[in-house]
Structure 1
Amino acid sequence: MSEPDDLPPSTVSEPLSRAIGERYLTYALSTIMHRALPDARDGLKPVHRRILYAMRELKLAPTGGFRKSAKISGDVMGNYHPHGDAAIYDAMARLAQDFAMRYPLVDGQGNFGNIDGDSPAASRYTEARLAHPSEALLAGLAEDAVDMRPNYDGTLEEPIVLPAAFPNLLANGASGIAVGMATNVPPHNLDQLIEACLLMIDTPDVGDDTLADLIEGPDFPTGGVIVEPRGSIRDAYRTGRGAFRLRARWEREDLGRGQWQIVVTEIPYQVQKSKLIERLAELIQTKKVPALADVRDESADDVRIVLEPKARTVEPEMLMGMLFRNSDLEVRFSLNMNVLIDGRVPKVCSLKEVLRAFLDHRREVLQRRSQHRMDKIDARLEVVEGYIIAFLNLDRVIEIIRHEDEPKAVMLAEDWGGGVFLTEVQAEAILNMRLRSLRKLEEMELRRERDALTKERAGLEALLASPAKQWKTIGRELGEIRKQFGKDAPGGARRTTFAEAGEVEEVPIEAMIEREPITVILSQMGWVRAMKGHNPLDAEAKFKDGDGPRFAIHAETTDRIVALASNGRAFTVLGANLPGGRGMGEPLRLMVDLPNEAEVSHLLVPKPGEKFLMASSDGDGFLCPAEELVAQTKAGKQVLNMRDGAKTAVCVKVEGDHVACVGQNRKMLVFALEELPEMARGKGVRLQKYKDGGLSDARAFTLSDGLSWKDPAGRTRTETDLSEWLGKRAGTGRMAPRGFPRDNKFT
């Protein structure tokens, strides 16, 4: 059977880009408005709002009993929020965590997680009820304070926004990631927020900087110390974007006899204590902070992390400076006040704009509650006036009720004197009135009630007609909230403090290590170790089978030891980080990125102010300051450049005024040290010219003292008359003196 011509086609064609674009925009809008961004008025996302409203419907008052969390999340999911029950329970659990919420909105009983990062117990094990701050957020729902909308299936109604008696967005903070935008608002101190609101009521055009000075900065539930400069905090509050540097709170604890330890009592917001401990342990294992010997978690209900220094000589401030730089004992908490204005428009707001949105919302709530109360008064006054008419004409009312078949119609048609007629509401109320209400005392009560209601109505009329009175009422309500949750209330005092601190200075790692003598041994196969003390360099040491000694030098634990490779690259290891001398040590290649094709040609301890003579086997070289040999990374740094096939031949400390070079052809040349350039890196200049072979050795010496070397018999020989070999740099030189070593080496 064919379709009628007037029906639309069952399949519609449209470009893929438009089809996807429209659907993605719909999804993005839903994510922004109904999931990720909080409302500036009550500071809540829909899931949190629905949780609190469902708990109110379950009558879970702060002074009442607890109910199973499974029941609460089930009601929220079934009535208002058709999403996963696990997600709903997680959101509710966060509202109950005193380490996540500055003013918890849910009072939890059971395991709701902890600062270590452990998850809450299953919803069937925990119980909850509303907390006292939630009462302030919900107050007025029964008085038409906000608009209601149908729930997802149209069977119930839910509030679009809560009345919110305090600025919950800033008090408890919020975070969320939407499509193309995100929000991150830190918690603040409610006492200071209310003080800022009162100032805005008195002075509407107050500046952002004044408000920022009044509020000071975030007040995290876990405490800590903010070390952000005041100027940066003001800029962040003025623009709605910025960041706060937050540090752990610590103190030095004296153990007596010169011993001490550091105790961390507060950690930064949203840092999991267990992961922080793991990171500190990793710093000890990798020796990134050599001054830290041990970390212990002695926390119970409070936070107590004990940090033990390796040496008493370490300054606590210096140790903490390194830990702030290398761990989450210091974090940067970002501020991005991207919120929904009037529940519709996402906008990055300043501090003043967020407070203004809250105050405007409170004014609207006040107006709606006042109008609702006036409507109730009008309805009650109508009934009371009818009762009074009945009392004034009691005999006639009784007569009508006793004798008429349709008393209501007769009462409505009756003129009760002076053209006064009853309304339907009044007639119905009189007919439903109890006989005991016909006492004279009741008539007096009705007159008093009428007078009181009339006076109250006049006050509400004056309130609705006067913005000044409205703001005064809002200020009084905020003052009551301040008494309940302000700085003088339990838990209301400010927890996060402020301190002046510039950038963490780069602490010399040597300053954090106990200075001890060591003997560094590097084997032929590249295994390195550090023996305690300055042992004789020719002392016997054990090596692996097939291995033997290569280098042995005296150093200290605070020294940076440079291994110069045959490819001209310098690698640096800290003396304190070398493995101990009990075993065979560890391969140097595990500590630095030494290529497999290269080997260590020199092992030295450069000191500040020293210079080294660097030269390749090609005979090119220069003078290098000791500081330029020290590398900061495992990859090392290239110091001596050379062509392919050449190797590092010389790296000796410069002492004296002349340089002596010996080639593989046994020719020696002596020239003035000043002929060599001083460079940080490069190929250098020609030291000695060769027809074949290359440079064998070179050294710097003082010409007036003569040139010394060891002969084959191990005796030291000194040649004082060097005029025969003296010349200019880059010469060929002459045959070495008699008795010069066969290996063409000075030592």
Structure 2
Amino acid sequence: DTTLKQLCQHIKGPDFPGGGEIVTPRKELHEIYATGNGTLRLRATWERDEDDIIVTNLPFQVSGSKVLEQIEAQRQAKKLPLVDDLRDESDHENPTRLVITPKPGNVDIDALMSHLFVTTDLERTLRVNMNVIGLDGRPAVRDLKSLLAEWLKFRTATVRRRLEYRLAKVEDRLHILDGLLIAFLNIDEVIRIIRKEDKPKEVLIKRFTISDVQAESILNLRLRQLAKLEEIQIRTEQKELAKERGSLQQILKSTAKLMTLIRDELLSLAEKHGDSRRTAIVERDAAQALAETDLVTSEPVTVILSASGWVRAAKGHEIDPVSLSYKSGDSYLCSAPGKSTQTAVFLDSAGRAYCLPAHSLPSARSQGEPLTGRLNPAAGAGFRGVLIGDPDMRWLVASDAGYGFFVKLAELQSRNRAGKACLRVPEGGDVLTPSPVTGAEFPGAALVAAVSSEGRLLVFPAAELPELPRGKGNKIFGISTRKFKAGEEKLVAVVVLEPGQSLLLFSNQRTMTLKPGDLAEYAGARSQRGGLLPRGWRKVDRAAVAPST
């Protein structure tokens, strides 16, 4: 009547020759033994040796060379920059000794090993299926208790057959010894019969009333051995065998004695062949792979977007993106400085936002790659801007209909290749290049500069424009609906200026800088029409914050 819980106090879990750790929770181990199936998680064991990581045991059937190949493949693919070197120092004294050297610096060793457990065979999942053929000859999935009960039944039958076989052999030998004793007591007569009779076997059986087996055993002895028979040897063997027969008969008649014999034999085998547990059973948290950004070195980058929607990333912020080489018929549209560990957000003409890791973008040494190869914008939509920075960074997004709002980058994050709705664009409208808020405080004393296609410039406090997660936004510039629908006027650029910054306007490959004092002439309130720019500068292509001098 032993319960499964009692059994699990002795059988805590499987043991594997290669050692390692079973990190499956005990509750799941008990569930495996209760149902007969499930999964085990085996993990390598490791230790620190100064700055190195030493892997000392591997999961069952895992090759050390394969693990090193898996780690090296990640290094070659630049997906594991935290590892500096790999070595296999295994020998006859240390069957498993894999050395992993992290890169110098502040590397979280526990996080690195957790990542390797997920991405290599340093941790494996083994399927448990206790499907065995029972004594009835049929396969069945059995729980631990029924499996042991079946095995004990089989073992009991096996030991019983062994004892019965031995008992039969003992009784046969005693029967033969009885015949040999008769031959010894009548040795001269036996020798005479063997020498003179034509059929000595029949004569022996008739003369001494012995069985066929006894007569055969006497005849199989050589005369020299027959002459040397000694009564004391025969009687000694008879006594020993009779004692063994009695012991065998007692065991076979008593179930308790039979169980005791089986137990003693198992204990003897365990003492002779058993060893200490090699696979530890330890409850540990599930391993987690490092985020892609955690595996990338944080470096300054500038993400560059062309008018045709081709993207690339240049190292550093001190570059001139306009002077880079572009494909025939293509040109510079916009750029945004950030870090390689950040996510670049791309805004299309339909107002949807798309995300790509900055470190995954092609190098600026090439002409880049089309965003449509990695993202799925709507048919006819083109890309209008790139945003990058910390998740709490604000950007101004606007449509050429004159509406817009501030939005946090975190609101634009999406893993969907089809993007995420951000700015609601009116029919026939387009999206302007977004502008970042670079000040430490928001909105602070920042200004919004808006330029229309009629050459009008409006500058108003950023505090007048709301921060929204998505939507159409509020009116930035006073463009009438009639004029916009007729195509007579639209907004061409919006720029966020911090106190002391100047505005740079681009017109027909010419530039004009409006300093803070100049901008005062165009100051007004949100949704007004501002003032006219000087003659010759009223056809503005784009606008930006002027570089500081």
- Per the shorter chain, which TM-score range? 0.7 to 0.9
Stretch of structure 1 that moved more, 688-697 or 297-306 = 297-306
Distance (Å, rounded) in 1 between the aligned partners of 2:128 and 2:134: 17
Preserved CA contact (<8 Å) 1:710 1:741: no
Query: Which of these residues, 18, 21, 28, is aligned with residue 222 of structure 1?
Result: 18
Question: Residue 482 of structure 1: CA displacement?
Answer: 1.5
Distance 1:303 1:597 in 2: 59
Quick one: distance in 2 between partners of 1:641 and 1:291? Answer: 43
Instruction: Please show how residues 66-145 of structure 1 align to structure 2 within 5 Å.
Output: none
Would the alpha carbon gap of residues 426 and 744 (structure 1) be closer, same or farther in structure 2, given more than 3 Å must change? closer
Q: Which residue of 313, 319, 322 corresponds with 1:529?
A: 313
Question: Are positions 1:445 and 2:240 aligned together?
Answer: no
The equivalent residue for 1:736 is 531
Query: Which residue does the alignment assign to 1:593?
Result: 375
263, 267, 278: which one aligns with 1:479: 267
2:547 alignment partner in structure 1:
none
1:678 is matched with 468
Residue 355 (structure 1) aligned with residue 152 (structure 2): no
Change (3 A) 1:683 1:303: farther
Question: Could you tell me how far apart the structure 1 residues matched to 2:326 and 2:52 are?
Answer: 40
5 Å matches for 1:644-663?
646-654=429-437, 655-656=442-443, 662-663=451-452
Among 450, 461, 467, which residue is 2:255 paired with? 467
**Secondary structure at the residue paired with 1:313?**
coil
Say which is worse superposed, 513-522 or 218-227, in terms of deviation.
513-522
Secondary structure in 1 matching 2:434: strand
State the TM-score, normalized to the length of structure 1: 0.61
Closer/same/farther in 2, CA of residues 501 and 683 from structure 1, 3 Å limit: farther
Unaligned runs of 5+ in 1: 1-204, 255-259, 488-492
1:613 counterpart residue number: 396
Q: Deviations over 1:466-507 (max 9, x none)?
A: 1111122112221232133211xxxxx333223332233564
Deviations 1:271-305 (A, max 9, x none): 45555444434433444444345555565664444
**Aligned partners of 1:675 and 1:444: how far apart in 2?**
120
Counterpart in 1 of 2:206? 413
Does the 8 Å contact 1:706/1:722 carry over to 2?
A: no
Aligned to 2:122: 329
Which residue of 2 is the match for residue 497 of structure 1? 280
| Contact 1:280–1:327 (CA under 8 A) maintained in structure 2 | yes
Does the aligned pair in 2 maintain the 1:573–1:591 contact within 8 Å? no
Contact 2:386 / 2:434 at 8 angstroms: preserved in 1? Answer: no
Tell me by how many angstroms 1:438 deviates: 3.7
Structure 1 residue 652: deviation in Å? 2.8
2:53 counterpart residue number: 262
Please give the secondary structure, in 1, of the residue aligned with 2:318.
Answer: coil
Which residue number in structure 2 is paired with residue 55 of structure 1? none
2: CA distance, partners of 1:571 / 1:360: 66
Superposed, 1:54-453 pairs within 5 Å as: 205-254=1-50, 260-271=51-62, 276-292=67-83, 295=86, 302-342=95-135, 344-414=137-207, 416=208, 421-439=209-227, 442-453=230-241
Instruction: Kindly indicate whether the alpha-carbon contact (under 8 Å) linking 1:209 and 1:238 is maintained by their aligned counterparts in 2.
Output: no
The 5 A counterparts of 1:34-73 are none
Distance 1:567 1:314, change over 3 A: farther
The DSSP-based 3-state class of the residue aligned with 1:314 is coil
| 1:510–1:457 distance in 2 versus 1, CA, 3 Å | same
1:560–1:575 CA contact under 8 A, matched in 2: yes
- 2:265 partner amino acid: E
For residues 430 and 238 of structure 2, what CA distance do their matches in structure 1 show? 109
Distance 2:47 2:341 in 1: 27
- The one-letter code matched in structure 2 to 1:530 is A
CA contact (8 A) 1:529 1:585 kept: no
Q: Secondary structure at the match of 1:430?
A: helix
Does the 8 Å contact 1:594/1:635 carry over to 2?
A: yes
Report the CA distance between 1:439 and its aligned residue: 4.5
1:249-281 Cα offsets, whole Å, 9 max, x none, are 233343xxxxx3434343333445555444434
Q: Is the 8 A contact 2:453 2:538 kept in 1?
A: no
Amino acid aligned to 1:284: R
In the alignment, structure 2 segments of 5+ residues that lack a partner are 506-510, 545-549
**Aligned counterpart in structure 2 of residue 516 of structure 1, from 299, 309, 314:** 299
8 Å Cα contact 1:656/1:700 also seen in 2: no
Deviations 1:120-159 (A, max 9, x none): xxxxxxxxxxxxxxxxxxxxxxxxxxxxxxxxxxxxxxxx
Q: Contact 2:399–2:430 at 8 Å: present in 1 too? A: yes
Cα 1:216–1:318 change in 2 (3 A) is same
How far apart in 1 are the matches of 2:4 and 2:320?
70
Q: Offset at 1:436? A: 2.2
Relative contact order, higher structure (CA 8 A, sep 6+): 2
Q: What is the CA RMSD across the aligned residues, in angstroms? A: 3.7
> 2:513 matched to which residue of 1?
714
Instruction: Give the C-alpha shift of residue 218 in structure 1.
Output: 2.2
- 1:355-395 Cα shifts (integer Å, max 9, x gaps): 22222211111100110111111111111101111222334
Distance in 2 (alpha carbons) for counterparts of 1:685 and 1:270: 64
Q: 2-side partners of 1:313 and 1:706: how far apart?
A: 39
Pair 1:630–1:326, CA change in 2 (3 A)? farther
TM-score, L = length of structure 2: 0.80
Secondary structure at 1:367's aligned position in 2? helix
Comparing 219-228 and 737-746, the one that deviates more: 737-746
The one-letter amino acid paired with 1:697 is: A
What one-letter code is carried by the residue in structure 2 that aligns with 1:486?
G
Q: Deviations over 1:198-222 (max 9, x none)?
A: xxxxxxx322233334232222233
Letter in 1 for 2:36: G
Q: Distance in 2 between matches of 1:546 and 1:619?
A: 29
Partners of 1:404 and 1:293 lie apart in 2 by 96
Say if 1:656 and 1:701, in contact at 8 Å, map to a contact too. no
Would the aligned equivalents of 1:314 and 1:511 in 2 still touch at CA under 8 Å?
no
CA gap 1:715/1:615 in 2 versus in 1, 3 angstroms: closer
Identity fraction in percent: 34
SS at match of 1:476: helix
Residues 501 and 515 in structure 2, CA contact (< 8 A), matched pair in contact too = no
In the TM superposition, 1:624-663 aligns within 5 A as 624-632=407-415, 637-640=420-423, 642=425, 646-654=429-437, 655-656=442-443, 662-663=451-452
Question: Which whole-Å CA distance do the structure 2 matches of 1:610 and 1:221 have between them?
Answer: 54
In the other structure, the counterpart of 1:564 is 347
Q: 1:377 to 1:385 in 2, by over 3 A?
A: same
Amino acid of the structure 2 residue aligned with 1:734 = R
d(CA) in 1 for partners of 2:259, 2:426:
83
CA contact (8 A) 1:622 1:676 kept: yes
